[in-house]
Chains A and B, each alone.
Chain A
């Protein structure tokens, strides 16, 4: 069954890229700053986090300056948050397409993730500039990013599919998502480092697949050290499971989308 899905999705790959490009274009049309917003979002959060948490509250950022400490986590976080925000709404927002034209519906949440990936690439350029500016020395551990980034992609796609499906059935989801993301930011090691979490709370890491991924992203990039392998492996496996679950859930409800919208 999965094989048929993948084959069909492959035959609609042009639609997938067209939808992704459309989403990027439409998002920045009639905005003065255009795609600069992709950079301003994590950059402005980095500034405010640096002031509030780095200077006022003196959250430790280890051997690194707080701005690059914050940005190295805000980069994957912003991707996740944007993709999920738009992904959750993707099917409902394209209701007129879904109820009138046939195509594999999963191209909608996947293209939202694709558009967020474009923003991620833009914001990553600022990351590279910051790395040069703060003279951060990279190590060979950077190759871990080739595992970490695809895992974030899987996780993000899976969650987007679950939320997109639920949002078709219950429109309450569109209010739940921004709230949940706000909370999720605080329970992920963005503002602080995972090492600063008291021992007795550390077990909760297993509830949040993003913890391991964001911590590992920061460790492997700016700290140049090996990520916590056990936690990373767990997060990778959980991300893949969530992706498969999300895909299955989406496909199992897809047939009633047009009737409900």
Chain B
């Protein structure tokens, strides 16, 4: 796969289509699977699994060092793109190429376990994000200071406030040193001071790393993105210059409301 892509591409999508199965009712998957297996025996009553289209023929390129924003309404397929980049889910058709270590600030706290202490969670979450133990040892103090949780390091994080929880998650992510950074709506958490700290951290990343930034916060998008992709119902509606695309999105949103 590597041979066909040129050196400075970090992410490459070619005609990517993704559908999800939607199962209804409490028997969900079992009924759908049985239906599929049994349907040849009952002609005329073919069971078709219900699906929902998340992305349709999406193609784009992201070069190394770019900061690309993805905007669009809820359900437009923004998070699906991030999940495809990080190999959490796979496309039904089309090609995806990703080059570099991925760090995902997707839904903070996913890797945290509430029974473990802050210290234990830093090590555990760091390991999930691909850090070696030595690396975490080295960055431990920085992570703790950034999260502002030094006093609470050795108590289980179920006793933490939600702000502390997300600060811990963000800090571990921020120090895992990826080549490609995926950011999904993380700025919605924490107080204003911490939000500013996160944005500054991302801006400092932006100088050397590739960033894909999903957000509804258009001001933040304008501030750090070099290019924007606007999705509408799983298709790319517009892509290019940040200001132009953001303005187009605002215009389209008003049209929909009217």
Query: Which A residues form the contact surface with B (CB < 8 A)?
Result: 14-15, 18-19, 22, 25-26, 29-30, 96-103, 169-170, 172, 255-256, 258-260
> Looking across the interface, which residue of chain B has its beta carbon closest to that of A26?
B115
User: Of B88, B120, B128, which is within 8 A of A25 by CB?
Assistant: B120
Instruction: Verify if B224 is at the interface (C-beta below 8 Å from A).
Output: no
Taken together as a complex, chains A and B put the C-alpha atoms of A19 and B125 apart, in Å, by: 10
User: Of A19, A100, A169, A170, which is within 8 A of B88 by CB?
Assistant: A100
> Looking across the interface, which residue of chain A has its beta carbon closest to that of B83?
A258
Is A100's CB under 8 angstroms from B127's CB? no
Instruction: Verify if B157 is at the interface (C-beta below 8 Å from A).
Output: no
Q: For chain B, residues 91 to 117, give those with C-beta under 8 angstroms from any C-beta of chain A.
A: 102, 104, 106-107, 110-111, 113, 115-116
Q: How far is the CB of A173 from chain B (nearest CB, A)?
A: 10
Query: Which B residues form the contact surface with A (CB < 8 A)?
Result: 20-21, 29-30, 33, 83, 86-90, 102, 104, 106-107, 110-111, 113, 115-116, 120, 123-124, 127-130, 132-133, 156
User: Of A26, A97, A258, A259, which is within 8 A of B21 by CB?
Assistant: A259
With a cutoff of 8 Å between Cβ atoms, the chain A residues found around residue B113 in the complex are: 22, 26
- Apart from A18-B123, A97-B128, A102-B104, what 5 extra A-B contacts exist at CB < 8 Å? A14-B133, A22-B120, A97-B110, A256-B90, A258-B88
User: Of B29, B86, B124, B156, which is within 8 A of A169 by CB?
Assistant: B29
Is A102's CB under 8 angstroms from B30's CB? no
Is B111's CB under 8 angstroms from A97's CB? yes
Is B116's CB under 8 angstroms from A102's CB? no
With a cutoff of 8 Å between Cβ atoms, the chain A residues found around residue B88 in the complex are: 98-102, 258
With a cutoff of 8 Å between Cβ atoms, the chain A residues found around residue B132 in the complex are: 14
> Looking across the interface, which residue of chain B has its beta carbon closest to that of A107?
B128
Is A14's CB under 8 angstroms from B127's CB? yes
- A–B pairs, 9, beta carbons within 8 Å: A18-B123, A18-B127, A29-B115, A96-B110, A97-B111, A100-B106, A101-B86, A102-B102, A260-B21
